Chain A
Amino acid sequence: MLWVDKYRPKTLDKVIVHEDVAQNLQKLVSAGDCPHLLFYGPSGSGKKTLIMALLRQIFGPSADKVKVENKIWKVDAGPRTIDVELTTLSSTNHVELSPSDAGFQDRYVVQEIIKEMAKNRPIDTKGKKGFKVLVLNEVDKLSREAQHSLRRTMEKYSASCRLILCSNSSSKVTEAVRSRCLNVRINAPMEEEIVNVLDFIAKKEGLQLPQGFAARIAEKSNRNLRRAVLTFETCRVQQYPFTNNQAIPPMDWEQYLSEIASDIMKEQSPKRLFEVRGKLYELLTNCIPPEIILKRLLFELLKKLDSELKHEVSHWAAYYEHRMRLGQKAIFHLEAFVAKFMSIYKSFLISTFG
């Protein structure tokens, strides 16, 4: 088992990073009920960990007994029936799913599937817990229609069903949904907190972790706890005992992108653009989302760039990022950005060095 999963805190009182939030949540559900919740915060800050711990707090150990199901749902949409395939993870008291996996059919998922699940109330022998919890991941990726139908569902079935929504950014969740939930903001952990977690893991694993090294991992992880732990485990495989200035292996796609960036800086020609396109295809094939590619590429380019160009390059990156969201085929826009950068950079080189 990966350390990320192995040392994931199981209950709210064992949480290290967001202790205050955990305590509040504990108080919140002490009466056995809770409002709808919206957890939001950057990736790797511990949203899912808190949600799982919360579920255990409410339902006890039965929340651990989950099964993964890949089921095809038949949804009646007017004149025809639509098949929506969706993976769900469920225990007796909660169901977790990512509606955005269904792509543009997400509104059917929200309307029909959730409705159906919310309708059957769990029958508890003690008659205590009269509600079921639905955990919805990546709510910010839901389409607008889906979010609207989510709002109706929330009101209609509030007696039998609690929703826990999880998203990276609350700004993409509509106001209507936000106002119906208790919003819980989960900040990215501070670097010291990450170091604490790493220390905790090292102690449990019986490893010697030099402070300087832990700080470097924390810094590299960009305040992403999951990443820090994964990197830590990787370093353990690569070299042990640790030294303070041990190399931290970068993620392969990041390294690849930094190679692309240096390719771009070296030569600016249609031929090079074509090569870059091939490399971008390689990244896309490996499911790296285009937005992340663009962001990282900009980051790598900015590192090497003269400060007077930074503004313009960032502007164009933003422009094409927007385009990418509107369009479908990301490569067109990524390539346009690369071409624009090459064009800017070349004219800059010519004007400075002649």
Chain B
Amino acid sequence: MKKAKRNAAIVISSSDDDEDFSLKSNFTHSKPKSQSKSASVPRKNPKRAKTALLSASCPRSSKEASGFDEMKRFCEEFKDNFTGIKVSAGLQSNNAMWVDKHKPHFLEELAVHKKKVEEVKIWFEERLHAAMDDHNNALLVAGPSGVGKTATLYAIASHLGATIWEWNTPTPTVWSEHLYNANSGLQYMSKLDEFEGFVERVRKYGLTSPTLKGSQASVILLVDDLPVVNGRVAYGKLQKCLKLLVQLVRIPTAIVITNYDKDDSADFSTRCWEELLVSLHNAGACKVNFNPVTINSIKKTLTNICRKEQREVSADTIELIAKSSGGDIRHAITSLQYLCLNPHRRPILPLKERPDNSICLDDAFSLPFGKDETLSIFHALGKFLHNKRENDLATASDRDAFILKEKFMRFPLKMDAPEVVLCQAHGQARTLSDFLHENVLDFLNEEAIDDAWLVASYLSDAEFLLSSLNGLLTRDFGAENIVQSAAASVAARGVLFGNAHPVPSRWHAIRRPKLWEVEQSLRRNKCQMLSLRGDLCNSLTLSNQIVMATEYRPALKWLGCRASESFQADDMVEDDSGSTCFHEKKLDMSDDEIEDW
């Protein structure tokens, strides 16, 4: 019984350790037992956990025994337990995170490309030695996460003997906490506000901390954690503030900007970051782009770590990790550590020994580690629209247990299941279905109107699913999620299934849904019409919007000149444009839009 409990505890500990290594090791050790035996004890109080634990584990211990004895006994027991854990969990006695432990301290250890490192180093050297000239003192370091941006900066700083000053992010205030504090008169400060204050201070007074002044050490200012901004206004504030920093700062400053999902440009915030980069660059900051770390240098680093840790990891496995990490070295190291954690784990078969050869190389989902790559929404759309399939039916009929009618048969897909692709693309179902709707007709065969109907009917289903959520009084996010993913799945699969005779693939540009424009202008027109309503009907009654659109407006157009007596000129202009646009647009359409085909 006890044995079983311990085993459970081990699993918890090893997975937990992955997450929060920053905790003191002492605390980490106490966790497995406290979790296994008295789960109700709050984790934040290890001491109490221990006493509670003790009484639970030795209920028959005599009451007279002194606290000290108890403590000692407990410690022994604990030690036993812990060594047990240590052996099976396979952690080193110094169980730090390998990412921290093997952090590069010297330039040579960096996995980043040498030239890039050199570039940054030279920049800092120039700034540090020829201080106070009117050069721009800001460096933008951009790149995806985990490619060693911050590590490079720290390594260079220690190489040059400079001290790094980092802007310390204040702990964010939770809203409920703020509400709680509101009575005591504490003001709420957003992170952005505090950052602005910080920049203000740096600009005005520099970093002249009194303790540091004597040492004359060269100082590098590092802004790593930019406040998250939401919306135009906040973004503008941040941009202005950073621009000032870039233009006026006197000490060498590195601003680290992480490009999250570079290709997901549909997202507002991503575009913001790009815009920010450009505007800061224009303001005079020097910009260095970090690329993902190459597979070879990841492999080298991983092998080095294995050697230092005295682990036997086959070269194949290292290569697999390196490949699946997608250039993220932090991720690769963590994966390696995770892999070495448990020697009893089913060994990862190198690719060539896999029984099933059909599983292709980039099948990252079967690995216990690796970074699931994210796809841009456009990539996913491309997959759905192009609808690439295998060419022989034989394999398909083998796999399918069902016997389908001829018309329901489709060749197997040359991609992952649509849901998997959707997961990777993390697009909104609404956006996805709008895009599919706009573009799918381009990808259908000239003659295949039946296919067009099938696709259209599935898209209509998806739309119906998506709107079924509206009008509910209470929002149920769980249900909403399910409906959303169901709708996305219906839309994607509908497009794939409906397009039974896909055209041979050629290059198509994916258009932005015209529906969005239409909706916008519809809203505008509606407001306009409602505001006109009063004058139009001689203000004795409010007339219905439908009547306005379908009866009054066309009549007014015909009446033209006569109406202008009683209505203002600008109304008429609006009406005229309305009347002409029907016919003009029609001509336009036949000209350009169809040539795009």
A binds B: yes
**Known contacts A273-B441, A292-B546, A343-B450: A285-B525 contact under CB 8 Å:** yes
Whether B552 lies near A230 (C-beta < 8 A) is: yes
Within 8 A of A (CB), among B545-597: 545-555, 557-563, 566, 578-579, 581-582, 585-586, 589-590, 593-594, 597
The reply to whether the CB of B446 lies closer than 8 angstroms to some CB of chain A is yes
**Known contacts A237-B559, A285-B522: A252-B597 contact under CB 8 Å:** no
The reply to whether the CB of A336 lies closer than 8 angstroms to some CB of chain B is yes
Interface residues on A, range: 35 or more
Whether B550 lies near A268 (C-beta < 8 A) is: no
Q: Point out the residues of chain A lying under 8 angstroms from B563, CB to CB.
A: 2
User: How many B residues have CB within 8 A of the partner chain?
Assistant: 78
Question: A340 → chain B, closest Cβ, in Å?
Answer: 5
Question: B148 → chain A, closest Cβ, in Å?
Answer: 46
Whether A328 lies near B463 (C-beta < 8 A) is: yes
Contact of B540 among A5, A287, A340 (CB under 8 A): A5
**Known contacts A273-B449, A282-B582, A339-B449: A138-B562 contact under CB 8 Å:** no
Whether A87 lies near B534 (C-beta < 8 A) is: yes
Whether B441 lies near A287 (C-beta < 8 A) is: no
Contact of B460 among A277, A281, A327 (CB under 8 A): A327
Contact of B541 among A1, A89, A284 (CB under 8 A): A89
The reply to whether the CB of B199 lies closer than 8 angstroms to some CB of chain A is no
Give the docked Cα–Cα distance between A68 and B590 (Å): 44
**Known contacts A273-B441, A323-B464, A335-B456: A1-B538 contact under CB 8 Å:** yes
Q: Point out the residues of chain B lying under 8 angstroms from A268, CB to CB.
A: 449
Interface-located stretch among B240-248, B274-282, B513-521: B513-521
Smallest CB gap from A331: residue in B: B515
Within 8 A of B (CB), among A64-120: 64, 66, 68, 70, 87, 89, 96-98, 101, 104
Give the docked Cα–Cα distance between A312 and B541 (Å): 42
Contact of A342 among B453, B459, B514, B562 (CB under 8 A): B453
Whether B460 lies near A336 (C-beta < 8 A) is: yes
The reply to whether the CB of B40 lies closer than 8 angstroms to some CB of chain A is no
Whether B550 lies near A251 (C-beta < 8 A) is: yes
Q: Point out the residues of chain B lying under 8 angstroms from A327, CB to CB.
A: 460, 463-464, 466-467
Contact of A270 among B445, B468, B531, B545 (CB under 8 A): B445
Give the docked Cα–Cα distance between A354 and B479 (Å): 50
**Known contacts A281-B518, A339-B456, A342-B453: A89-B559 contact under CB 8 Å:** no
Q: Point out the residues of chain B lying under 8 angstroms from A234, CB to CB.
A: 555, 558-559
Q: Point out the residues of chain A lying under 8 angstroms from B541, CB to CB.
A: 48, 51-52, 89, 96
Smallest CB gap from B554: residue in A: A251
The reply to whether the CB of B542 lies closer than 8 angstroms to some CB of chain A is yes
**Known contacts A273-B452, A286-B578: A226-B594 contact under CB 8 Å:** no
Whether B447 lies near A269 (C-beta < 8 A) is: yes
Q: Point out the residues of chain B lying under 8 angstroms from A284, CB to CB.
A: 518, 522
Question: A237 → chain B, closest Cβ, in Å?
Answer: 6
Whether B471 lies near A87 (C-beta < 8 A) is: no
Q: Point out the residues of chain A lying under 8 angstroms from B385, CB to CB.
A: none
Whether B453 lies near A339 (C-beta < 8 A) is: yes
The reply to whether the CB of B330 lies closer than 8 angstroms to some CB of chain A is no
Question: B449 → chain A, closest Cβ, in Å?
Answer: 5
Question: B26 → chain A, closest Cβ, in Å?
Answer: 45
Give the docked Cα–Cα distance between A292 and B521 (Å): 19
The reply to whether the CB of A303 lies closer than 8 angstroms to some CB of chain B is no
Give the docked Cα–Cα distance between A5 and B543 (Å): 12
Give the docked Cα–Cα distance between A285 and B452 (Å): 24
Give the docked Cα–Cα distance between A338 and B455 (Å): 12
Give the docked Cα–Cα distance between A346 and B546 (Å): 34
Q: Point out the residues of chain B lying under 8 angstroms from A101, CB to CB.
A: 530, 545
Whether A340 lies near B457 (C-beta < 8 A) is: yes
The reply to whether the CB of B216 lies closer than 8 angstroms to some CB of chain A is no
Whether A52 lies near B589 (C-beta < 8 A) is: no
The reply to whether the CB of B86 lies closer than 8 angstroms to some CB of chain A is no
The reply to whether the CB of B448 lies closer than 8 angstroms to some CB of chain A is yes
Give the docked Cα–Cα distance between A287 and B470 (Å): 22
| A314-327 interface bits toward B, Cβ cutoff 8 Å, 1 = contact, 0 = none | 00000010010011
Whether A98 lies near B585 (C-beta < 8 A) is: no
Smallest CB gap from B581: residue in A: A282
Question: A209 → chain B, closest Cβ, in Å?
Answer: 18
The reply to whether the CB of A149 lies closer than 8 angstroms to some CB of chain B is no
Within 8 A of B (CB), among A116-146: 137-138, 143, 145
Give the docked Cα–Cα distance between A103 and B50 (Å): 60
Q: Point out the residues of chain A lying under 8 angstroms from B554, CB to CB.
A: 251-253
**Known contacts A326-B464, A340-B457: A270-B441 contact under CB 8 Å:** yes
22 contacts between A and B (CB under 8 A): A2-B555, A66-B539, A98-B542, A234-B559, A253-B554, A268-B449, A279-B586, A282-B581, A282-B586, A284-B522, A287-B525, A287-B545, A288-B550, A289-B546, A326-B464, A329-B434, A329-B463, A339-B453, A342-B452, A342-B453, A343-B449, A343-B450
Q: Give chain A's interface residues, CB within 8 Å of chain B.
A: 1-2, 5, 8, 43-44, 48, 51-52, 64, 66, 68, 70, 87, 89, 96-98, 101, 104, 137-138, 143, 145, 224, 226-227, 230-231, 233-234, 237-238, 249, 251-253, 256, 268-271, 273-275, 277-279, 281-282, 284-289, 292, 320, 323, 326-329, 331-333, 335-336, 338-340, 342-343, 346-347
Q: Which 5 A-B pairs have the closest CB atoms?
A: A339-B453, A230-B555, A336-B456, A328-B467, A68-B534
Q: Give chain B's interface residues, CB within 8 Å of chain A.
A: 433-434, 437, 441-442, 444-453, 455-457, 459-460, 463-464, 466-468, 470-471, 473, 514-515, 518, 521-522, 525-526, 529-531, 533-534, 537-555, 557-563, 566, 578-579, 581-582, 585-586, 589-590, 593-594, 597
Given contacts A282-B582, A292-B546, A332-B459, 7 further A-B contacts (CB under 8 A): A1-B566, A44-B551, A87-B542, A253-B554, A273-B456, A338-B456, A342-B449
